[in-house]
Amino acid sequence: MKLRNRVLGAFIVVITVAVLVMAFTSHLYIRNIFDHYTEGYRSVLTDQWEYLLRSYYLRQGSWEGVENVLFRRARGRAASIPMGHIRENLRGILPGDRLLLADNKGEIILDSQDELVGDKLSRSQLSKGIPLLIEGEKVGTLLLQPRALRAVQTLEGQFSRSVNLAVLWGAAVALLTGAGLSLWITGQIARPIAQLTTSAKRFARRDFRHRVKLTENDEIGKLAGAFNLMAENIEQNERLRHNLMIDVAHELRTPLTVLRGNLESLQAGIITPDTELLTSLHDEVLRLNRLISDLEAVNLAEAGKLPLHFREVSPASLLSRAAAAFQHEVVTREINFSVEIEEGLKSRVLDEDRIIQVLINLLANAFKFTPDRGGISLRAKDENGSLVVEIMDSGPGIAEEDLPFIFERFYKSGRGRGGGSGLGLSIAKSFVEAHGGKIAAVNRTGGGSIFTFSLPPVTEKT
């Protein structure tokens, strides 16, 4: 079932339940209010009848003829009380209610339903009735008996049915209105989700450049933003993967081409094997082995399975060993190369070989892009217990759009920092992170770049 249909069904169920609850509660409330109203009305009506009957007795001196005054049209002025007033009050009795008047002996002399005249009121009826007193003497009893259950359904039932009918009509209008609104709301909800579904399907067809165009700032809009960010990352990774395959093929092809050409020449007898040729072939084999070893090291580090051999090492000896590997290049290219170690820098527990390789890779990158007679500095210091190493060069710097990706495998900048296998910085990042550290690169204000990595203290040797 589609999301739109499910949401629409949920809206209709909620509206229906709300209408039923409203109808039930309104029925109970109206019944309660109606009961209070009828009780109050009876009390007022009883007071009026008490006044009218007492007035009648005072004027007539007896109850004689009271039934003629109340139930038959009087001729002339048989009673002193206005006939219309009495009839109006008699008509005010609620349907099903019974008005009884008894004399001072309890004998019923007036029955609004004309059935009990001549009978006597029981003790309970006399106790519930209102005594009619004239100058302190009881001359009669007035009793208003509420309607029977069957009679309740006449007036109250009609009123309740009218209210319930109005509620049902209102419910029908509310249901139709709610259904229309729910259709519109579900359309608003389903539309961006449908766009996301379409984008996901296009993405599954490897259309990595497609983006979701949603401007809403709600949860779905944020989901669309996350989808677009994911698409950008996947597109970037796909581009890197494509470049990776090209670069790996290139890096493998070069030494293999050399090996193949020389071996075919040997087979054809064009050249003869000598020490120089064998050394060249051996170098190409080492180059292939080094490329494969680097790829394996990066994969192991990213998988968290890179073996590390920790031991206590002096930071000064680390920097000195790494710097010694570039002394020939410093002299031949007249590079201003400085090594600065913070005074009192203590020994650290780390994998010496891995960190040496990190330093060599970063320094090789700095020397590659620093012009002759340029400057390179290598510094080490302590920051909050972590060993921080900084390599600063005077090269062309790194393009801003390349900075987020320079530590990716085989990534090569499109401006000025190309060449090589593209694994050096990736290996450095992997080895630093395997130590629980961080590595970053920024551009210098005056030109060049700064590579910095930090290694937290290790409490246990592994």
Task: Give the model confidence (pLDDT) of 263-303 as tens digits.
Answer: 888 888 888 888 888 888 888 888 788 778 877 877 777 77
CA–CA separation, 398 vs 417, rounded Å? 7
d(CA 5, CA 187): 10
- What's the whole-number mean pLDDT along residues 142-170? 68
Mean pLDDT for 432-456 is: 92
**How many residues does the structure list for the chain?**
462
Name the 3-class secondary structure at 348: strand
Which three-class secondary structure string do you get for 366-391?
HHHHCCCCCEEEEEEEEECCEEEEEE
Residue 327, pLDDT > 60, answer: yes
Mean pLDDT for the chain?
79
- Per the CB < 8 A criterion, the answer to whether 423 and 295 are in contact is yes
The answer to whether 358 and 432 are in contact (CB under 8 A) is yes
Q: Record the tokens describing residue 53, joined without a space.
A: 């009957």
List, as own/partner pairs, every contact residues 451-454 make where C-beta atoms lie below 8 angstroms and the sequence separation is at least 24, other chains included.
451/362, 451/365, 451/366, 451/390, 451/391, 451/392, 452/388, 452/389, 452/390, 452/391, 453/358, 453/362, 453/388, 453/389, 453/428, 454/383, 454/386, 454/387, 454/388, 454/389
The pTM for the full model equals 0.48
User: Per-residue pLDDT for 40 more than 50?
Assistant: yes
Cβ atoms of 453 and 358 within 8 Å: the answer is: yes
Please choose, from the candidates 352, 365, 350, 367, the residue with its C-alpha nearest in 3D space to the C-alpha of residue 320: 352
Given this model, what pLDDT does residue 154 score?
55
* Residue 316 predicted with pLDDT over 90: yes
Is the model's pLDDT at 262 over the cut of 70? Answer: yes
pLDDT of 59-71, one tens digit each?
888 888 777 655 5
Distant-in-sequence, close-in-space partners of 371: CB < 8 Å, separation ≥ 6:
394, 395
Give Cα 55 to chain centroid, integer Å.
77
**Dihedral sign computed on CA atoms, order 416, 421, 424, 430:** positive
* Whether the Cβ atoms of residue 145 and residue 42 lie closer than 8 Å to each other: no
Contact 112, 142 (CB under 8 A): no
Asked if 379 and 389 count as a contact pair (C-beta separation under 8 A), the reply is yes
Read off the amino acid at residue 56. Y
Q: What is the CATH number of domain 311-455?
A: 3.30.565.10
Q: How many CB atoms lie within 10 A of CB 129?
A: 20
Grouping H, G, I as helix, E, B as strand and the rest as coil, residue 107 is strand
- Residue 37 binned pLDDT confidence (cut-offs 50, 70, 90): confident
Under 8 Å between Cβ of 95 and 147 = yes
Coil, strand or helix: which one is 56? Answer: helix
What pLDDT was estimated at residue 418? 44
Q: What is the residue extent of each domain of the chain?
A: 1-63+87-97+146-205, 219-303, 311-455
Selection from 266, 267, 361, 359 nearest residue 317 by Cα? 359
pLDDT value, residue 394: 92
pLDDT of the residue at 350: 93
Average pLDDT over residues 152-175: 70
Please give the span between the terminal C-alpha atoms of the chain, in angstroms, as a whole number: 56
- pLDDT per residue over 79-102, tens digit each? 444 444 444 445 456 666 788 888
Q: Is 179's pLDDT higher than 80?
A: no
- CATH code of the domain made up of 219-303: 1.10.287.130
- Strand, helix or coil at 392? strand
Q: Is the dihedral of CA 41, 42, 44, 48 positive or negative?
A: positive
Q: What is the pLDDT of residues 385-436, one digit of tens each?
A: 999 999 999 999 888 888 888 888 766 665 444 445 567 888 899 899 989 9
- Give residue-wise pLDDT tens across range 337-370: 999 999 989 999 999 989 998 999 999 999 999 9
